[in-house]
Amino acid sequence: MSRSNRVPYEAPTDDGRFGDYGGRFVAETLIHALDELTRLYASVSRDSAFQAALARELKDYVGRPTPLYRADRLTEHAGGARIYLKREDLNHTGAHKINNTVGQAMLASRMGKTRLIAETGAGQHGVATATVAARLGLECRVYMGSEDIARQSINVYRMKLLGAEVAPVNAGSRTLKDAMNEAMRDWVTNVDNTHYIIGSVAGPHPYPMLVRDFQAVIGNEAKEQCLAAEGRLPDLLVACVGGGSNAMGLFYPFVDDDGVDIVGVEAGGEGLGTGRHAAPLNAGTPGVLHGSRTYLMDDESGQIAETHSISAGLDYPGVGPEHAFWKDLGRARYASVTDDEALAAFRVLNQTEGIMPALESSHAVAWTLREAARRPREDIILVNLSGRGDKDIHTVAAIDGIEV
Amino acid sequence: MSRLAKRFASLARDGRKALNTYIVAGDPVPEATVPAMHALVAGGADLIELGVPFSDPEAEGPTIQAGIERALAHGVTLGDVMDMVSAFRRDDRDTPVVLMGYLNPFLRMGYEDFCTQAVAADVDGVIVVNLPPEEAGTFQEALRSRHMDLVLLVAPTTTAERAAYIAGQGSGFLYYVSYKGVTGARHADAADVAKRLTGIRAVAGGLPVLVGFGIKDGASAAAIAPHADGVVVGSALVDTMGSTPVAGIGNRLKAQVRDIRDALD
Ligand SMILES: Cc1ncc(COP(=O)(O)O)c(C=O)c1O
């Protein structure tokens, strides 16, 4: 179908559906808060003063635009297509997460909420939430699985320095999904004065939509920057997928650009065949968790499976519903790389470009290295480098047998 | 007439309040459930809400979470829960049993398969915590075509207009959640509940309204009951299930329910 007569992509529907996915599968107590958030978001979307204030925040506080960097030595190492990195690691606090927390904090202020809560896996979203809470003088509580507290200790301390309370979660697999359960329980209890800043394009409507929109600044900038640098759009976009916010932020502005291929990279853990991974789009089935219908890792009786990834930010059994929709539509493909491949890519990027990626982002780099080698030199691959890797130094050092 | 409708009609005739009791199926061991259900009835329960274990019970407080974990440690599935209801039915044809849980296990089994098995097991209805009426369409049709009820919840944050909509969508009874929060976290505030229930009962169209969350004993049940058609007791019973040697569960549950029954009557 030619682009000119194709209907532009539009999702979700008013009730939050992306095809068969998404929706609002929550306890009745939360419906009112979700309605309020949906209404407010619709009004600020049309409010040019709000949009201008958000743009100012992103420029002056977050440090946007982030560069689109041509990684020549990485390209040479892979031996094929030209690789560009969208440097979300250079944002204030070191990852893309703050694009969303700045926006949601503005919504929280408009609603007169005095308290912010968040779930976090790698700690980047927790840090980004604690940061905006400090800036606005709001109370902040971040839920984090005790397993993640152990492996992301630097970010835990950062959150405390920012004045946030970090609440350890000992239930279930003690990772991101359990932190999200506990954050939902807090929200049900304190919904009058509290805004829940969900950190990815997951959760009940309107979260997948509004987090996508706040993160779309990544793709909008990248598109302009690629046109300026190369005079054309990239051939391929690559991003890692945990809940899917950095990926959707890059991908969404390109959805109607049919010539641009899109690949999301999930955490293959110890390999898809071992069951020890976090790749629901590759190896899961549709189900309902945390407010939306989407691909999940569960067992045959519907219990949510325990996941594994070396990267805390990808260690989650679900995924944003819009990615589920895009998978079924065929608008994006979803691949996976293992822990070992991600680690190798972490080292390669350090040593070829002097850039230390987060272990999450290293998954996108790892798959790109494989794919670039198969593509001609004229091709352009644009990779979202979602965050920096300082938080992961302990994990990598432990693997190297070094105590830091 | 459905078993739930029959039970509420006879309660109304006698001028009594409904006592609905919740335990988690398979807690603390699968063999304990059917005897525990009979003990609830022997103590004076009018309805049984049987919790379907789920790995991520996002609206439950620590007590019920712990009960669910004890059941999951034995790998209790939705299919097992229905087997328990079948076994209960061998000795009790009259007490309505409603399954309460989260959507994913029902979805994974498939609504049609679930309904077929639920009819065979004589299950009377379901309550799905994370299934508001807007999302319930397909499941509700499947249930309705087998004459099973989908019990819906109304919360303190639900607007009056929405409460009327929910009442129109639900069947069996309407479940009013007494406070904002997770199960077992607080005491139900009788004054708050009374204020809200007048409006809700006015739009309920004759559907009985039961109040749950924060009702732990005879005193709290008796404080809430005058404003409603009945009460739901959960965390307090699950606490007993977890803290009592299996052999002693029956007697303790029966005595605990008897206390609440006496306070209600
Ligand atoms: C640097 C980084 N990238 C990616 C992710 C994964 O989240 P998402 O898939 O929503 O971008 C995280 C989450 O913690 C992260 O910290």
Structural domain of B122? 3-264
Q: What pLDDT is recorded for position A6?
A: 77
Q: Which of A86, A97, A177, A327 is catalytic?
A: A97
Residue B203: CATH number of its domain = 3.20.20.70
Query: Which protein residues touch ligand 1 with a CB less than 6 Å away?
Result: A 95, 121-122, 124-125, 200, 240-247, 313-314, 358, 360-361, 386-387
For residue B246, the CA-to-ligand 1 centroid distance in Å is 46
Q: What pLDDT is recorded for position B110?
A: 98
Q: What pLDDT is recorded for position A404?
A: 86
The series of mean pLDDT values per 10 residues for chain A, 404 residues long, is 71 98 98 98 96 98 98 98 99 98 98 98 96 97 96 94 98 92 96 97 98 98 98 98 98 98 98 97 98 98 96 96 98 98 98 98 98 98 98 95 92
Which residues, at least 6 apart from B247, have a Cβ–Cβ distance to it below 8 Å?
Answer: none
Cα gap A288→A299, rounded to integer Å: 13
- Cα three-residue angle B126-B220-B235, rounded to 5 degrees: 45
Cα gap A170→B95, rounded to integer Å: 38
Whether residues A27 and B55 touch (CB distance < 8 A) is answered with no
Chain A CB within 8 Å of residue B136 CB? no
Cα gap A385→A364, rounded to integer Å: 8
Question: How do A115-120 and A194-196 pair as beta strands?
Answer: parallel
For residue B52, the CA-to-ligand 1 centroid distance in Å is 33
pLDDT tens digits, residue range B136-174?
999 999 999 999 999 999 999 999 999 999 999 999 999
Respond yes or no on whether ipTM tops 0.85.
yes
Q: How far is CA A308 from CA A39, A138, A269, A360, in A?
A: 37, 34, 6, 13
Chain B CB within 8 Å of residue A136 CB? no
In terms of residues, how long is chain A? 404
Q: What pLDDT is recorded for position A5?
A: 63
What's the token pair of residue B81?
């829960």
Q: How many domains does chain B have?
A: 1
Are the C-beta atoms of residues B34 and B83 closer than 8 Å to each other? Answer: no
Residue nearest to atom 12 of ligand 1 (CA): A313
Q: What strand order describes the sheet that includes A21-25?
A: A17-18, A21-25, A291-296, A285-289
| Contact pairs from chain A to chain B, CB under 8 Å | 116
Q: What pLDDT is recorded for position A2?
A: 44
Whether residues B130 and A29 touch (CB distance < 8 A) is answered with no
Whether residues B54 and A298 touch (CB distance < 8 A) is answered with no
Nearest Cα of chain B lies from the Cα of A173 at a distance, in angstroms, of 10
> Crossing angle for the helix pair B111-120 and B137-145, nearest 10 degrees?
30
Burial classification of residue B245, based on how many CB atoms lie within 10 Å of its CB (0-12 exposed, 13-18 middle, 19 or more buried): exposed
User: Between residues 40 and 69 of chain B, which touch chain A (CB distance below 8 Å)?
Assistant: 53-61, 65
Q: How far is CA A281 from CA A298, A300, A319, A397, in A?
A: 12, 17, 8, 30
What's the token pair of residue A301?
């009786």
Query: Which amino acid type is present at position B260?
Result: I
Cα gap A331→A328, rounded to integer Å: 8
Pocket test for ligand 1, best of A131, A156, A200, A346 (most atoms within 8 A of CB): A200
Three-state secondary structure string covering chain A: CCHHHCCCCCCCCCCCEECCEEEEECCHHHHHHHHHHHHHHHHHHCCHHHHHHHHHHHHHHHCCCCCEEECHHHHHHHCCCEEEEEEHHHCHHHECHHHHHHHHHHHHHHCCCCEEEEEECCCHHHHHHHHHHHHHCCEEEEEEEHHHHHHCHHHHHHHHHCCCEEEEECCCCCCHHHHHHHHHHHHHHHCCCEEECCCCCCCCCCHHHHHHHHHCHHHHHHHHHHHHHHCCCCCEEEEECCCCHHHHHHHHHHCCCCCCEEEEEEECCCCHHHCCCECHHHHCEEEEECEEEEEECECCCCCECCCCCCCHHHCCCCCCHHHHHHHHHCCCEEEEECHHHHHHHHHHHHHHHCCCECHHHHHHHHHHHHHHHHCCCCCEEEEEECEECHHHHHHHHHHCCCCC
In terms of Cα–Cα distance, which of B104, B123, B1 is closest to A297? B104
Most A CBs within 10 Å: which of B102, B131, B135, as the mutation test of the A interface?
A: B135
Q: What pLDDT is recorded for position A172?
A: 84
Q: What pLDDT is recorded for position A3?
A: 47
Question: How do A21-25 and A291-296 pair as beta strands?
Answer: antiparallel
Whether residues A188 and B54 touch (CB distance < 8 A) is answered with no
Beta bridge partners of A87: A385
A245 catalytically annotated: no
pTM: 0.97
